[in-house]
Amino acid sequence: MNAPLGAIAGARSGDKGGDANLGVWVRSDEAFAWLREYLTVERLKELLPEAGEVDRYELPNLRALNFVLHGLLGEGVASSTRFDPQAKALGEWLRSRVVDIPEALL
Amino acid sequence: MIRIGNASGFYGDRLSAVREMLEGGELDVLTGDYLAELTMLILGRDRLKDSNLGYARTFLRQLEDCLGLALEKGVKIVANAGGLNPAGLAEAVQKLGHDAKIAYVSGDDVSDRFPEALTANAYLGAQGIAECLGGGADVVVTGRVTDASLVVGPAAAHFGWRFDDWDRLAGATVAGHVLECGTQATGGNYSFFTEIDARRPGFPIAELHEDGSSVITKHDGTGGAVTVDTVTAQLLYEIGAPAYLGPDVVTHFDTIRLDEHERGVRISGTKGSPPPDTLKVCLNTLGGFRNGTTFVLCGLDVDAKAALVRTQLEDAIGTDGLTWTLARTDQSNAATEETASALLHVTIKTADPKRAKAFSRAAIELALASYPGFHVTAPPADGTPFGVYRAEYVPRESVQWKAVQL
């Protein structure tokens, strides 16, 4: 079913120098099994076309994935010309993207 | 068990939080994080103006108000508010009176190795803080220690941990990571904010145990929430690989176990391993000068309007260092003027302060000579200097922390 990712996932994002990090978590084991499969680096780049080089890490104990988006913020917050130079809302942007979520998880 | 609270997640956080935390319930140590990559740059520019500055001045105001109260309640204060000048802040705190024992941690400044830098500070660990507290300090101020060290130091001093008790240090680091951004652990900036009362979150507390495990909670009667979800959100903030590197320990975030607890969330199971041979250095250099403005493009022909004003501005000051972003926030046939408008952002970055200033004049001179409906969200000011951040690494044995009791 088409729904925003944020219907089942929370997110928090922030900056480390010129890189942004974006943590995404869900609230049940079933949802994590789906998220882990679904939210690959390629899928993240489709949902956030502004992303360049991306690393992805799994934290199953937190039912979470963590992405590091390299170079998104140029040379850091004070220098960046991005609209959101500290990537504070990157996670909320991702949560607003409409994706195909199994109906049982909604 | 030791109760360690937090009253600040950044330089600019809720001024009344120190008082709220001291009056709101039981506490052994109150910590505050005032430093971010950007803050070091701001303090660096403060220090250029006045070499006595370079620390977080709001912390001093908070202690003017609350140092007596903290001493009366027997609550120790530990904060990295010293920034670039922990000795200066320690002296200023001592001048507040109250006969408090003040100590500071320094040794993080490695700017002699990076002559091009405005600020260069190694991230120190928790040992200096533990030594100050072991020596009986009531207030400890530091320069650039890792945010989590503010929690690890007091816990290590209280329990007498050795600095190769990797799992205990890692457990306390996790508690410190949860606390370091204040109310971001208790329902602030939280994706599922509609499910809780997020109007005025209380600041977080970690009840640390001897084995390094903890219970994250907050004072009774405060707003926000401490749940597995709010704590998970904060654990995911500003991390990279699951092996989280720090100066005292590598903390394995994929070993953390979270459980709901009657007073909040219990954290256990965290594993640690020895730290790397290098320390990270936060380095800020002055990058030049920047300026910017936002043109509002309302209604029809948005692309053509953007193209016209762009050509005009570039004819006046050149294209070098300009970045343009057109945000198509406009809706067609809109019922309000604001929702009929797109935003065209332009930023200039240049080595020449005169050119940054000339940008303002060039933009404003277009006011009666450009696209129909010309206006800007705010008039451009004089240019401001901007910093460039980068991380460097130095051998850990080349940096020696110092714990100084006044």
Domain count, chain A: 1
CB atoms B241 and A91 under 8 Å: no
Query: Given A12, A18, A60, which is nearest B233 (Cβ)?
Result: A12
| Inter-chain Cβ pairs, chain A and chain B, closer than 8 A | 117
The residue among B282, B222, B225, B234 whose CA lies nearest residue B14 is: B222
**Under an 8 A CB cutoff, do A78 and B236 touch?**
no
Flag whether the ipTM exceeds 0.95: yes
Minimum distance, in Å, between the CA of residue A84 and any CA atom of chain B: 12
**Strand, helix or coil at A20?**
strand
| Tokens encoding B328 | 């198509």
The alpha-carbon gap from A94 to the nearest alpha carbon of chain B, in Å, equals 11
Domains of chain B: 2-276 (no CATH), 286-388 (3.30.70.2750)
Contact at CB, B253 and A59, closer than 8 angstroms: yes
Of B189, B256, B287, the CB nearest to A75: B287
Which residue's structure tokens are 């975030």? B253
- What domain range includes position A17? 2-105
pLDDT at B282: 94
pLDDT band at A24 (very low <50, low <70, confident <90, very high): very high
Q: Is B102 helix (H, G, I), strand (E, B) or coil?
A: strand
Interface residue ranges in chain A relative to chain B, Cβ cutoff 8 Å: 6, 9-12, 14-18, 21, 23-25, 27, 55, 57-64, 66, 68, 75-79, 81, 83, 88, 91-92, 95
State pTM to two decimals.
0.95
Q: How far is B191 from chain A (nearest CA, A)?
A: 5
pLDDT digits (tens, 9 = 90+) for B36-64: 888 998 899 889 899 999 999 999 999 99
Name B373's Cβ contacts closer than 8 Å, sequence gap at least 6.
Answer: B296, B297, B298, B299, B305
Distance from CA of B241 to the nearest CA of A (A): 6
Instruction: Report the residue of chain A nearest B259, measured CA to CA.
Output: A62
Q: What are the angstrom distances between the C-alpha of B206 and each of A23, B2, B21, B29?
A: 22, 8, 13, 10
Rounded to whole angstroms, the Cα distance separating B164 from B150 reads 18
Q: Which of A77, A81, A91 sits opposite B347 (nearest CB)?
A: A81
pLDDT of residue A17: 87
Give me chain B's average pLDDT, please.
Answer: 96
| Interface with chain B: mutation pick from A5, A8, A12, A66, highest number of B CBs within 10 Å | A12
Mean pLDDT by 10 residues, chain B (406 residues): 98 97 98 91 90 95 98 98 97 95 98 95 98 98 97 98 98 98 98 98 98 98 98 97 98 98 98 98 93 97 98 97 97 97 97 94 96 93 88 96 97
